[in-house]
C-alpha cells in the first residue's frame, strides 16, 4: 500500500476523533462552569460535592476511568456504547480540570469589586454573572485552550475501548502493512492539524472577548 491509500481510513478515524473531542469539550465546559461556581458557593453541601468530583477525576488516570466506565459500570446495570463512554469520560475529566480554572479566575476578581457590589445592594447572583464572570472568562481562555488541546490528545486512549478513532485506524493499518514510519507520521500530522485548528478558534474567541463589544458612536457624540 502507498501513503495515499492510508488517507481514507485515517480521515475516517480523524472524523471520529474530532466528534469525540468537540462533544466532550462542549459538555466539559458546562461541567467546568457548574463545578467551578459550586466550588466557591457558600452552600457547603454543593461545594463539597464539587470538590469531591474535581478531586476524583483529577486524581485518577484517564485510562482507568475509561476502563471503569466501559467494563465496571455495566456490572451495576449502567452501560453506554463505546463512543458515548469516551465522550462522557473525557467530558468529566475536562470538566474537573476546567472547574479549577473557573474557580481560580473568579477568585482572582478584585475583592474591592465585590465590596462595591454589596454596597450597591446587588445580589450574589447578579454580582457573579454581571461583574465577576465577564472579567474572569477572559482570563479563563488561555488555560481553556490548553485543556482543549489536552482533551484532543487524550482522545487517543479511546481506541483501547474499541473506538475506531484516528489512533485505532493507524494501529489497524500498521498491523496490516507494518509501515510504521509512514502511518504514524501521518497520524502525528493529523493530530497536529486538528490541534492547530482548535488553538486558532480559541485564540480568535479570546481576542474577541478582550476587545469587548463594539458599539457604534452616536452622531452627536
pLDDT above 60: residue 90: yes
The answer to the question of residue 101 being in a domain is yes
Full domain range(s) for residue 52: 3-211
Residue of 24, 28, 13 whose CA lies nearest to 86: 24
Angle between helices 166-177 and 3-39 (to 10 degrees): 150
Residue 108 buriedness (CB in 10 A; 0-12 / 13-18 / 19+)? exposed
Count structural domains, the chain. 1
The answer to the question of residue 107 being in a domain is yes
CB-based contacts of 14, cutoff 8 Å, min separation 6: 166, 190, 194
The answer to the question of residue 217 being in a domain is no
Q: How far apart are CA 66 and CA 137, in angstroms?
A: 30
The answer to the question of residue 221 being in a domain is no
Structure confidence by residue, pLDDT tens digits, 126-169: 777 878 888 888 888 889 989 999 999 999 999 888 888 888 88
pTM recorded for the entire structure: 0.85
pLDDT (0 to 100) of residue 45: 92
Q: How far apart are CA 161 and CA 132, in angstroms?
A: 41
Amino acid at each position: 500500500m502507498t501513503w495515499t491509500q492510508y488517507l481514507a481510513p485515517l480521515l475516517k478515524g480523524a472524523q471520529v476523533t474530532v466528534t469525540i473531542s468537540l462533544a466532550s469539550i462542549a459538555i466539559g465546559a458546562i461541567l467546568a462552569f457548574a463545578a467551578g461556581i459550586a466550588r466557591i458557593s457558600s452552600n457547603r453541601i454543593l461545594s463539597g460535592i464539587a470538590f469531591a468530583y474535581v478531586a476524583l477525576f483529577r486524581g485518577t488516570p484517564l485510562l482507568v476511568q475509561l476502563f471503569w466506565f466501559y467494563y465496571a459500570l455495566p456490572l451495576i446495570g449502567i452501560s453506554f456504547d463505546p463512543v458515548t463512554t469516551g465522550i462522557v469520560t473525557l467530558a468529566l475529566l475536562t470538566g474537573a480540570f476546567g472547574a479549577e480554572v473557573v474557580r481560580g479566575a473568579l477568585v482572582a476578581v478584585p475583592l474591592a469589586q465585590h465590596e462595591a457590589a454589596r454596597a450597591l445592594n446587588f445580589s450574589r447572583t447578579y454580582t457573579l454573572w454581571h461583574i465577576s464572570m465577564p472579567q474572569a472568562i477572559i482570563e479563563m481562555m488561555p488555560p481553556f485552550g490548553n485543556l482543549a488541546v489536552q482533551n484532543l490528545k487524550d482522545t487517543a486512549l479511546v481506541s483501547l475501548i474499541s473506538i475506531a478513532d484516528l489512533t485505532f485506524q493507524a494501529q489497524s493499518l500498521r498491523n496490516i502493512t507494518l509501515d510504521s514510519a509512514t502511518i504514524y507520521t501521518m497520524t502525528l500530522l493529523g493530530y497536529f492539524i486538528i490541534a492547530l485548528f482548535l488553538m486558532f478558534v480559541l485564540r480568535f474567541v479570546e481576542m474577541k472577548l478582550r476587545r469587548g463589544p463594539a458599539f457604534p458612536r452616536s452622531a452627536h457624540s
